[in-house]
Structure 1
């Protein structure tokens, strides 16, 4: 474990040396913890897939610390990409761009494209800069599990399976980056994330909001799921609460322990064994930041079944929250 709540150049060098010599390292970013390898080291990149039990046809994201480093993997920067970078980099926006012809398969995943972002986190940027080449990374968790937003999440999933974990603060955003595909016309949002679709439209005008493509990083398989079976109840709040309490009663009659993820405004009207308050319906950034911790809470409390309240608005951060809950749920009810 490398402790680094405060940036420490000596510890950065230790972690960078691990990456330079073929190791893999978990590190904090503003979105979720990442698990990275030297982008040019095929054997090291393979270790990421093995540690996560991640299918090898699920592509990774390349992290860069400068525009000079960006140009080593792509020289096709259309005007719309430049505008998005100006508005949102460094930050939680991943862009799919045409790769340079000499870029290795470890970066492209066998395609002619690269998914790249510049994180807004001093430890991540310092680590990439010290390595001197892009780092390819995925979230630092077992594939399919909720993404890690705290060091303990990484430790629970990957301790003993990777070479080092940089212990930083909890992730300030807690939701993955938005992925925008600039290799198609018109450009398309492939994964909703921390940058809202409305913000992207405000930046560059009309953009396609299409179905999530399976060849986008992290979108090919079921994702974000706790080990606890999760039921999502969507709809108008009053009807949703009636349905949730009805489900709780039925499960408890079967002798099952029930955990519920709810917003603050609903929590007092839900009667269950364990409860995790995601935050206020009026502060969706907070709900998004706490969402993955809530999903992991269900496992930590060893409940038999989880239920999530799905009353968040289908816009801005609410749209992203509902996307993640739907992908995590085994069963869904609409009220």
Structure 2
């Protein structure tokens, strides 16, 4: 039997009223807020962290348009504005597998601030949505919590841009949640500094990979085959060698994946190599397990790269991020 408590009735102060409230400021939420405000609608953007950008700034998913090649038909819109503004403000560098640019996640925090201010959006950072306010079957705002306590934000229209249908789900809307065993694996991304770019890229040239290399026991993909021979920034050999020589445990044979932009200064800003299956990212206990195990595996991956990937011998990893793609919608 699950024990429970009954919370006391309380008065919650209304701290803000707006026409449109966007909850969640990842690329989708940020674009929605900008579009709304540009249409002349009073718009507020609510974010639980201290910066806008979602996975771009919190996780370092920098390959905003990695799919773009010379004949790609791109939807563009506000999304490409993010890339162009980051480029113009020197917060982007060439993405290795496409003709797009990788966006500097740290720099994009500032880019997002500028975009929000230019659009005259009301920013509300450091507030976590904990409950929707539902009246007569319609969502009229949300309850938030922060260091200031519990507050209410009212709106004529609420846009759920949480990525996990948090507002809709808690309002009682029907949502779909993939069974845990079928969810995509969570990823722990990290970056490295102090990489010898010349030696790193020489190794890439001497040991090229294509998208075809993603087929096998580790990954599956469905394509028409036209992409199979395209270059892919894929990493696997260092981890196979590390296991073979006993540097890292043999059960870590799932460590493999992709790398992103590398700067002339030796910053390898995006390494997506650690993948944790069997985690439900709406379960905080699973998240806790994933954070701890993910950091452990990332450190093992770094050991393998320093030992077996040319150019990484003296590198360090300043940042580790956890990313969960597949939850509910």
Q: What TM-score, normalized by structure 1, do the two folds share?
A: 0.23
Greater percentage in helix: 1
Work out which of the two has the higher radius of gyration on C-alpha atoms and give 1 or 2. 2
Q: What TM-score, normalized by structure 2, do the two folds share?
A: 0.23
